[in-house]
Chain A
Amino acid sequence: MSEAFTREDLLRRAVAGGALLSVPGLLAACGGSSKSAATTTTTVSTTLPQTIVWSNWPLYIDVKGKRHPSLDQFQAHYGVKVRYIEDINDNDSFFGKIEGPLSQGQSTGRDLIVLTDTSGLPGRMIELGWLEKLDKSAIPNIKNLQPIQQHPNWDPNREYSLPWQSGMTGIGYDPKLVGGDIDTLHQLLTDPKLKGKVTMLTEMADSMGVTMLANGDNPTKVTNATFDRAINTLQAAVNSGQIRQFTGNDYAPLLAKGDIYACLAWSGDMVQLQADHPGLKWVLPKDGGMLWTDNMLIPKGGHTYGASVLMNWYYSPTIAAEVADYVNYITPVVGADKVLLKSDPAIAKNPLIFPTEEMLANLHQFDISAVNNVKYKKQFQALIGG
């Protein structure tokens, strides 16, 4: 944890800067002019706002009773209030919600939001100029970022984003029902024993990514040829009745009840399922699995400095460990596992939460420009939409 700022320093600055409302608050008070682009000039502020508004997914931060200890600690340390709202429950829907104000040059009323890279939206927002650049001078802890996360194809220098949590996409299955182990997508898609008992994901990056890897293609650089090949592979499995459904995370109850035997599954879900069903297994396919990441972003009009300081807080290994201990997804912060080794070794040693070097080498990230390609989108929607 960086002690560069003492608490007194910050408090003094905050008071000196006056009770500076965050930019969104100001806009709301003025009833904002809808068409002017005036709101988007970032005042490079180095004082903390009174309140930081953070939208996140539900149950995605540490919880103790009704409170979030890591947030309470932040608020105590900096004297800044965080309004934490769990109103993101789907990338596209949330984007649909904020694109209205953003396209009109209005603020979204939020300083920090969390969106998934594989939805294509963080990349898209950068293209559209709807994100503020991080104030990296306020984020010295960025040095703790996992190497695999440092240069994503859609934000190569991490100027606009920092990972919040990650997950792996691999194969989840019930060995008893499958009658053995599975380690390739090919088996998932063609083994007659599994007919009608397999699901894939509606998330294009996951389903297409894993399929491309199985076809020997590179998902990080998608071409028309590789995309078509993957579509054809999946289409064949759909037509034969092998694939029962394309799901969001509602494959989980099906797997738990044995309605499906195997599926593309996310590591975080498996951790929860295995608590009640220790027999269930999860593996990265031999040809490789996918890594997806939920990223912290600052929407245009958000308080850049405040949001950056908040991001920095969560990049200290101690705080990251607090969050990882509860959320059980993959933290992007190096060193968190060492902290947990002392307090909660079971979590620290769980490869689904702290993947091994071998696993990390076999993980790939999907080409985000492909996700945002309308032609590809329609092809994929046609595949999963009948």
Chain B
Amino acid sequence: MNVKLAKRRFIDLHVFSNLSIGSSSIDEIAQMAVELGYRAVGLADFNKDNLNLIEDLRRKFSEYGLDLISRVDLNCSSPSELKRKLRFYRRKVEIISVFCRNLQIARLAARDRRVDLLNFTYKSRQFNFFDASEASLSLKGETALEINLRDLLFAGTSGERIQFFKICRENVKLAKKHGVPLVFSSGARSILEMRGPRELAAVASLLDLTEFEARETLSTIPFNIVQRNREKLSENFILPGVRRIRGEIDW
């Protein structure tokens, strides 16, 4: 029997353009993503001032055969600020990522179902709040752990890189033990910081992941998160598994 397997769809969920802190234009990013073999790109440029650009950018990306995923990175100093921002952004963007700069934020973000991705710093063990409690809260809150490879690929010294590998490997081990989904992304701020999906997966496989698991972190897992959120954002959504059907049904 001749069975043709479906080609894996890769996604880079964390790219910045010149709309925010990045240096490359939207066209350059789209062209590079196509060259590298991505099917979707998560643009993390959005804030309250440019949310109206999402649909225009989505059309532009679709000209290149790419899917645009709108994303917001939240970097809050207090739980109340995080709650306020979550209320504002949740119905407007597809992915919300929270940078956990203190323990309170980390715990709140992990258990809040409106948060999709958790980010931690890997420069120091002191600020890595991903422990067993955080992992079990993440599992209940359906949040995933995101590992941004930019910090590793562009680490200044070997010492920083070793530290990153060490902390990251511990986090990956904990996430695997508790069943927390893992997402790897580039965090690129220019097109020359973007890497091919298989190259990123190869770096991920250096962190005690099998080759298959590493590729899943760049394809199936992020796509599932995006699909789940798109379903929630659709106007017919009522509850998970329940949605309004339009038109008459012929019983």
A-B complex is real: no
Name B's A-contacting residues (CB within 8 A): none
Chain A residues close to B by CB (< 8 Å):
none
